[in-house]
Amino acid sequence: MRQLPPERDDNEPWLPEVFEDSYGLSADLIFAVTDALEAGDGVQAHALVIDLHEADLADLVESLGRDDRTKLVKLLGADFDPEVLPFLDSAVLEDLLEEIAPLDLARSIAELDSDDAFDVIEDLDEAAQRRVLDSLTPSDRLVLEESLTYPEDSAGRLMQREVVVVPESWTVGETIDYLRAGENLPDDFYDLFVVDPRHHPVGYVPLSRAMRTRRPVPLREIMEADMKTIPLAMDQEEVAYVFRQYGLVSAPVVEDGGRLVGVITVDDVVHIIDEEAEEDLMKLGGVSETDLYSDVLDTTKSRASWLVVNLGTAIVASLVISMFEGTIQQLVALAVLMPIVASMGGNAGTQTLTVAVRAIAMKDLSAANAKRFVGKELLVACVNGLLFAVLTGAVAWLWFDAPAIGAVIAAAMVINMVIAGLSGTLIPMGLDKVGVDPAVASSVFVTTVTDVVGFFAFLGLAAVFLL
Amino acid sequence: MRQLPPERDDNEPWLPEVFEDSYGLSADLIFAVTDALEAGDGVQAHALVIDLHEADLADLVESLGRDDRTKLVKLLGADFDPEVLPFLDSAVLEDLLEEIAPLDLARSIAELDSDDAFDVIEDLDEAAQRRVLDSLTPSDRLVLEESLTYPEDSAGRLMQREVVVVPESWTVGETIDYLRAGENLPDDFYDLFVVDPRHHPVGYVPLSRAMRTRRPVPLREIMEADMKTIPLAMDQEEVAYVFRQYGLVSAPVVEDGGRLVGVITVDDVVHIIDEEAEEDLMKLGGVSETDLYSDVLDTTKSRASWLVVNLGTAIVASLVISMFEGTIQQLVALAVLMPIVASMGGNAGTQTLTVAVRAIAMKDLSAANAKRFVGKELLVACVNGLLFAVLTGAVAWLWFDAPAIGAVIAAAMVINMVIAGLSGTLIPMGLDKVGVDPAVASSVFVTTVTDVVGFFAFLGLAAVFLL
């Protein structure tokens, strides 16, 4: 029999005080679990994780190495809470599914609400999806397969089918009786959706209002008729916008004819807001998506595709420089200074495009204020262009003891920073207009422009005025 | 008397169909309002905006030019919904406050919930804040002044004081009776907080659960005791983390001794999540905060401070190049090719640091998995380094018909991309460890490293092996 260290008692496993009442997962806990797993101390590992919130357990599973991850899930066995699954990153989930017996998985998925179950299978590759679907009961499978027919990232995939609807003729009392008798209600809900006989939503009653109202009052009298409904096909980014804009906690999803078919709740939307913000951040950073949990090969491939584009644009900039090889040979100071012009332009352009990309994503920049935005950015670019022209010009003059070099770099700086301001606004707005995501492509276009213009203006002016 | 165009009737102003049932604000509506305001057609402008949701009206006000903005608010007069104010960007708000009479403003603020009222005054500069506070009744002023004593960006500033608390001895029926009689309840609430006699929260009951339970059942039996409480001083970023991590819709705020003093609801947190994601995006883009609505001077100043830092680092890179002036003079091809090495390193480093910064912000990267993360990024850097070494080497060889140049640039590329991978992980993690926000400073450090290493490796190897 396995020996426990003498100071510990099997029934009361040691729990470091620091883990209590903390929010989220501490690195210490991850270390402690890793140590326990690697020492083969299943009792300790079990004790450390069993009281964790499912979201924290998901984070823990993600933080562990591959082997420890499998060990932990096997160790937990029937104690492994299926609610953990929707919180897992899809790369980790696919890994894990290979270790869980199909029957266990089917049982786990059947326990989840329809939107959570769908969350689990949505991100899997097709083979893994098929394997999971095949292990479900026909009725569960049907629901999930229907969800899969909705377009990716649409409201249909986000919604939950369990929804509380009440006829408009009811009173508060009738509603309360219905809820008290109710079966097949969702775990949590925040609004009562009032429907007409065709099952079209006509208004909603926030739960807090229903609870404050006396039984005989008809719902019609307290319901809010000014309601935002979400079409099945609406993109999740738009869904997030509607929730944020109107401060919603839940909203009914309607199919084409207007029938209510589901509900989206704010907890799902919080994740979408996070995802969308993360997507923009990653795209601007030249990463297709967060690849923290992807394996080396996937990460390398996705990063390389972006670097190939960058290699192309760098070569274009080099071609510009090569037009002035003779000039550089005569005045090597130009080679020393030219990266400054390109780099300042690139940074100024990135500042502008970051503001533009975010404003477009948040619907704060549209045709209506485009002219004002471009005008302002142009003015900012002119002022900063002049400021940094003087600064850089002075540095170059002092460094090479040549006022003419200072004048040339100053002129090139103004030109490049104005172009940076213009391209930092016009390129994202133009991409958005032709339907290309400005977060993906703006950065590469803008820095190409500022590199090319920077090198060309500086070396060109030098060739004309210095030689 | 002002003449209306014949086809329009004063009582039934023309409303373009396209505006109906849309989500958010259309550019067409903004244009229509601008046209009406500039034509002095107050009736039309009024009709166009009067039915807008307060969030949309706020967006409209932000989208208008300065003069039109004031015109519109004056035109609306008493019809101007105070609920619009919390939605406004602080730069726009300050502008507007100068136009609204103090008494009107005091009336407006008094109508808001305490957290919304605080939202309005929090972002103002001190003079404007004073002016608003002075125009309030003493009791309203006291509440807001107390909120201002909490640290910036803390839970205390985010919370709402109107909160529904019930003693643990109550039944569902007693609770319902209390709510029905209730005055001074918040407009919307989602959970009932159960408190002990010392007013410490001991659990919560989701409204949906309370509504489904029969009157005689004690709250103690249906309450959820596993509850996250938010300390008054908790940073809003941490609050957002707790809400997102545990899928909360509301959470009680407690002061030091554990007494419940307020509640934070998910709608406030959605804005924080947005703000925090936006902050990271802006900082990585070299912008201190979204300056869409700031005036030219403020924008120029805040952008310039970042560009000064960049100028410094660009000069450092130039100093490295100047060490090799002689080498470049002998072989100008080096000047042509050197930006490629620096640029590829900069991009690879940015990819890695973007993933690292986001993972740190989301608490997905900690001491527990740091080693694994660095190891993986190093491997990715090696593979991509080799790949792009071969590609770039071949291009340089063919371009300048010199295999030796190809070999040198290939070697420099591997070195710089590996350094990029290392600095892209270690710099943000190091900054986080010493308490500096990695989103602010990582970018400039990493690109400085990749510029310096890129130029030094390429030109240095060339000096040794090519001349």
**DSSP string over B138-185:** HHHHHHHHHHHHSPTTBHHHH-BS---EEETT-BHHHHHHHHHH--S-
Among the partner-chain residues B59, B296, B366, the one whose CB lies closest to the CB of A379 is B296
Does A367 reach chain B within 8 Å, measured CB to CB? yes
Q: Is A221 exposed, middle or buried (0-12, 13-18, 19+ CB in 10 A)?
A: exposed
Q: Rounded CA gap, A313 and A450, in Å?
A: 11
The strand pairing partners of B230, in sequence order, are B253
By percentage, how much of chain A surpasses pLDDT 70?
Answer: 95
* Residue B375 reports pLDDT greater than 50: yes
- Element at B406 (helix H, strand E): helix B403-433
pLDDT tens, residue by residue, A59-105: 999 888 888 888 888 888 888 888 888 888 888 888 887 777 766 77
Residues of chain A numbered 288-307 and touching chain B (CB < 8 Å) = 290-292, 296, 299-300, 303-304, 306-307
Residues of chain A numbered 387-446 and touching chain B (CB < 8 Å) = 387-388, 391-392, 395
Q: Rounded CA gap, A323 and B374, in Å?
A: 41
Task: Judge whether B159 and B263 are in contact, CB under 8 Å.
Answer: yes
Task: Give me the pLDDT at residue A12, please.
Answer: 41
* Residue B10 reports pLDDT greater than 50: no
Answer whether B23 sits within 8 Å of A337, measured CB to CB. no
**In terms of CA atoms, which chain A residue is nearest residue B300?**
A380
Angle of the A333-361 helix axis to the A403-433 helix axis, nearest 10: 30
Task: Give me the pLDDT at residue B6, please.
Answer: 39
Distance from CA of B318 to the nearest CA of A (A): 5
Distance from CA of B300 to the nearest CA of A (A): 5
Residues B133-148 have a mean pLDDT of 85
Residues in chain A: 467
Residues of chain B numbered 31-90 and touching chain A (CB < 8 Å) = 31, 34, 53, 55-56, 59, 62-63, 65
Answer whether A62 sits within 8 Å of B364, measured CB to CB. yes
Give the closest residue to B191 by CA, choosing from B250, B268, B261: B250
Among the partner-chain residues B24, B285, B353, the one whose CB lies closest to the CB of A363 is B24
Structure tokens at B381: 């850097």
Answer whether B339 sits within 8 Å of A353, measured CB to CB. no
- Can you tell me whether residue B25 is helix, strand or coil? coil
Give the closest residue to B456 by CA, choosing from B302, B305, B334: B334
pLDDT tens, residue by residue, B45-95: 999 998 888 889 999 998 888 888 888 888 888 888 888 888 888 888 888
Domains and CATH numbers, chain B: 17-153 (1.25.60.10), 165-284 (3.10.580.10), 296-465 (1.10.357.20)
Answer whether B339 sits within 8 Å of A55, measured CB to CB. no
Q: Rounded CA gap, A400 and B402, in Å?
A: 32
> Per 3-state DSSP, what percentage of chain B is helix, strand, and coil (rounded to 5)?
65, 5, 25
Main-chain phi, psi angles of A168, to 5 degrees: -70, -15
Residues B188-211 have a mean pLDDT of 94
Per-residue pLDDT band at B22 (split at 50, 70, 90): low
Residue position matching structure tokens 């002689």? B326
Among the partner-chain residues A179, A321, A350, the one whose CB lies closest to the CB of B286 is A350
**In terms of CA atoms, which chain A residue is nearest residue B447?**
A343
Distance from CA of A246 to the nearest CA of B (A): 6
Q: Rounded CA gap, A247 and A245, in Å?
A: 6
pLDDT tens, residue by residue, B256-279: 999 999 999 998 888 888 888 888
Does B268 reach chain A within 8 Å, measured CB to CB? no
Task: Give me the pLDDT at residue A109, please.
Answer: 79
Residues in chain B: 467
Select from A192, A311, A451 the residue whose CB has the most chain B CBs within 10 Å, as the one to mutate to test that interface: A311
- In this structure, the strands spanning A191-195 and A165-167 are parallel
Within 10 A of B312 (CB to CB), how many other CB atoms are there?
11
Answer whether B311 sits within 8 Å of A359, measured CB to CB. no
Distance from CA of B365 to the nearest CA of A (A): 8
Residues B133-160 have a mean pLDDT of 87
Among the partner-chain residues B281, B311, B337, the one whose CB lies closest to the CB of A318 is B337
- Can you tell me whether residue A379 is helix, strand or coil? helix
Structure tokens at A416: 């490049």
Task: Judge whether A14 and A32 are in contact, CB under 8 Å.
Answer: no
Q: Which residues of A touch B369 (CB under 8 A)?
A: 30, 63
Per-residue pLDDT band at A22 (split at 50, 70, 90): low
- Can you tell me whether residue A2 is helix, strand or coil? coil
Q: Which residues of A touch B359 (CB under 8 A)?
A: 290, 292
pLDDT tens, residue by residue, A400-453: 999 999 999 999 999 999 999 999 999 999 999 999 989 888 888 999 999 999
Angle of the B66-76 helix axis to the B42-49 helix axis, nearest 10: 80
Per-residue pLDDT band at A213 (split at 50, 70, 90): very high
Q: Which residues of B touch A303 (CB under 8 A)?
A: 348, 351, 380, 384
Q: How far is CA A230 from CA A203, A438, B1, B51, in A?
A: 13, 25, 45, 20
Answer whether A347 sits within 8 Å of B282, measured CB to CB. no
Answer whether B24 sits within 8 Å of A310, measured CB to CB. no
pLDDT tens, residue by residue, B202-261: 999 999 999 999 999 999 999 998 888 999 999 998 999 899 888 899 999 999 999 999
Q: Which residues of A touch B27 (CB under 8 A)?
A: 366-368
Q: Which residues of B touch A53 (CB under 8 A)?
A: 226, 245-246
pLDDT tens, residue by residue, B302-352: 999 999 999 999 999 999 999 999 999 999 999 999 999 999 999 999 999
Q: Which residues of B touch A286 (CB under 8 A)?
A: 347, 350-351, 354
* Residue A146 reports pLDDT greater than 90: no
Distance from CA of A78 to the nearest CA of B (A): 22
- In this structure, the strands spanning B250-254 and B260-265 are antiparallel
Distance from CA of A100 to the nearest CA of B (A): 24
Task: Give me the pLDDT at residue A286, please.
Answer: 86
The terminus-to-terminus CA distance of chain B in angstroms comes to 89
Residues A5-18 have a mean pLDDT of 39
In this predicted structure, which of A44-53, A257-266, B71-80, B105-114 has the lowest mean pLDDT?
Answer: B105-114
Q: Rounded CA gap, A245 and B248, in Å?
A: 19
pLDDT tens, residue by residue, A163-189: 899 999 999 999 999 999 977 788 789
Residues 6+ positions from B106 with CB-CB distance below 8 Å = B132, B135, B136, B137, B140
Q: Which amino acid is at A342?
A: A
Task: Give just the sign of the alpha carbon dihedral A215, A216, A220, A226.
Answer: negative
E strand spans, B223-376: 230-231, 250-254, 260-265
Per-residue DSSP letter, B84: G
Q: Which residues of B touch A344 (CB under 8 A)?
A: 307, 310-311, 314
The strand pairing partners of B177, in sequence order, are none
pLDDT tens, residue by residue, A297-349: 889 999 999 999 999 999 999 999 999 999 999 999 999 999 999 999 999 99
Does B368 reach chain A within 8 Å, measured CB to CB? yes
Q: Which residue has the higher pLDDT, B187 or B55?
A: B55
Distance from CA of A380 to the nearest CA of B (A): 5
Does A225 reach chain B within 8 Å, measured CB to CB? no
Answer whether A285 sits within 8 Å of B214, measured CB to CB. no
Q: Rounded CA gap, B385 and B383, in Å?
A: 5
> Within 13 Å, how many C-alpha atoms sit on residue B139's CB side?
1
- Element at A439 (helix H, strand E): helix A438-465
* Residue A28 reports pLDDT greater than 80: yes
Q: Is A24 exposed, middle or buried (0-12, 13-18, 19+ CB in 10 A)?
A: middle
Among the partner-chain residues B187, B266, B281, the one whose CB lies closest to the CB of A284 is B281
**In terms of CA atoms, which chain A residue is nearest residue B31?**
A368
Q: Which residues of B touch A182 (CB under 8 A)?
A: 212
Q: Rounded CA gap, A334 and A409, in Å?
A: 9
Task: Give me the pLDDT at residue B460, please.
Answer: 97
Does B215 reach chain A within 8 Å, measured CB to CB? no
Give the closest residue to A385 by CA, choosing from A358, A422, A337, A428: A422
Q: Rounded CA gap, A424 and A347, in Å?
A: 10
Residues of chain A numbered 93-152 and touching chain B (CB < 8 Å) = none
Answer whether A344 sits within 8 Å of B307, measured CB to CB. yes
Does A287 reach chain B within 8 Å, measured CB to CB? yes
Distance from CA of A4 to the nearest CA of B (A): 25
Does A200 reach chain B within 8 Å, measured CB to CB? no
Task: Judge whether A323 and A298 are in contact, CB under 8 Å.
Answer: no
Within 10 A of B138 (CB to CB), how many other CB atoms are there?
6
Distance from CA of A282 to the nearest CA of B (A): 6
Per-residue pLDDT band at B128 (split at 50, 70, 90): confident
Among the partner-chain residues B269, B339, B379, the one whose CB lies closest to the CB of A318 is B339
* Residue A50 reports pLDDT greater than 70: yes
Q: What is the biggest distance separating any 2 CA atoms in chain A, rounded to whole angstroms? A: 94
Structure tokens at B90: 């602080």
Task: Give me the pLDDT at residue A142, please.
Answer: 87
Does B219 reach chain A within 8 Å, measured CB to CB? no
* Residue B14 reports pLDDT greater than 60: no
* Residue A9 reports pLDDT greater than 60: no
pTM: 0.84
Phi-psi region of B258 (alpha: psi -120 to 50; beta: other; left: phi over 0): left
Within 10 A of A57 (CB to CB), how many other CB atoms are there?
23
* Residue A287 reports pLDDT greater than 80: yes
Alpha-helical segments (H) within B17-170: 27-38, 42-49, 54-63, 66-76, 90-97, 102-110, 114-122, 126-134, 138-149, 155-158
Per-residue DSSP letter, B410: H
Task: Give me the pLDDT at residue B327, please.
Answer: 95
Task: Judge whether A392 and A356 are in contact, CB under 8 Å.
Answer: no
Task: Give me the pLDDT at residue B103, please.
Answer: 65
pLDDT tens, residue by residue, B170-179: 999 999 999 9
Task: Judge whether B122 and B157 are in contact, CB under 8 Å.
Answer: yes
pLDDT tens, residue by residue, B396-449: 999 999 999 999 999 999 999 999 999 999 999 999 999 998 988 888 899 999
Task: Give me the pLDDT at residue B166, please.
Answer: 94
